[in-house]
Structure 1
Amino acid sequence: MDDTQSTKPDFAGPFTSVPVEITVSVGRARPLVRDLIGLGENAILTLDKRVEDPVELFVGDQLVARGQLEELEGDQDGRLAVRLIEIVTVPDGKE
């Protein structure tokens, strides 16, 4: 059994096969418009995170988890993945 299968909750129902898009955020930048306009090829945009900092996983605009980026090996060599390190508790009734 691989890591993705080991801690799956046992849910049943018609919505379990609906795909959900997850956005992974590695950081944010807040440049001034004048600086943004001046960006060109090979420009560097500094983010508010370090390489070793956790990434954030969002469904829509809701933060749902944090994780560490990893590079896959084998037949998926070079592809990125996220190892979950924290599941964020969403308060009931929050929209």
Structure 2
Amino acid sequence: MRSVPVEIRVSVGHARPSIAELLELRREDILPLDRRLEDPVELYIGDRLVALGELVEAEEGGLGVRVTELVDAGHG
């Protein structure tokens, strides 16, 4: 059972543009999020928050997440 893969979604923030603002987006525009660069990202399995972390460059040159806090299983 422990070898069954699970999908983890990483949330870096949220944006709430109006439809007009969304329709006006162009290549290289910046969509502001409700978080700062130094704020933690949230790790979800399904709709359940399981951990917090920080974005890092992975050894392979890609993007990774360093887990900084595990969320209590009874949370939410």
TM-based fold match above 0.5: yes
Say which structure is richer in helix.
1
2:44 maps to what in 1? 58
Any unmatched runs of 5+ in structure 1? 1-14
Say which structure is richer in strand.
2
TM (normalized to structure 1)?
0.74
Deviations 1:75-94 (A, max 9, x none): x1x211111111111328x7
Q: How does 1:1-95 map to 2 (within 5 A)?
A: 15-73=1-59, 76=60, 78-91=61-74
Any unmatched runs of 5+ in structure 2? none
Give the number of equivalent residue pairs: 76
TM (normalized to structure 2)?
0.91
Percent identity (aligned): 54
Q: Which runs of 4+ in 1 moved over 4 A?
A: none
Higher relative contact order (CA 8 A, sep 6+): 2
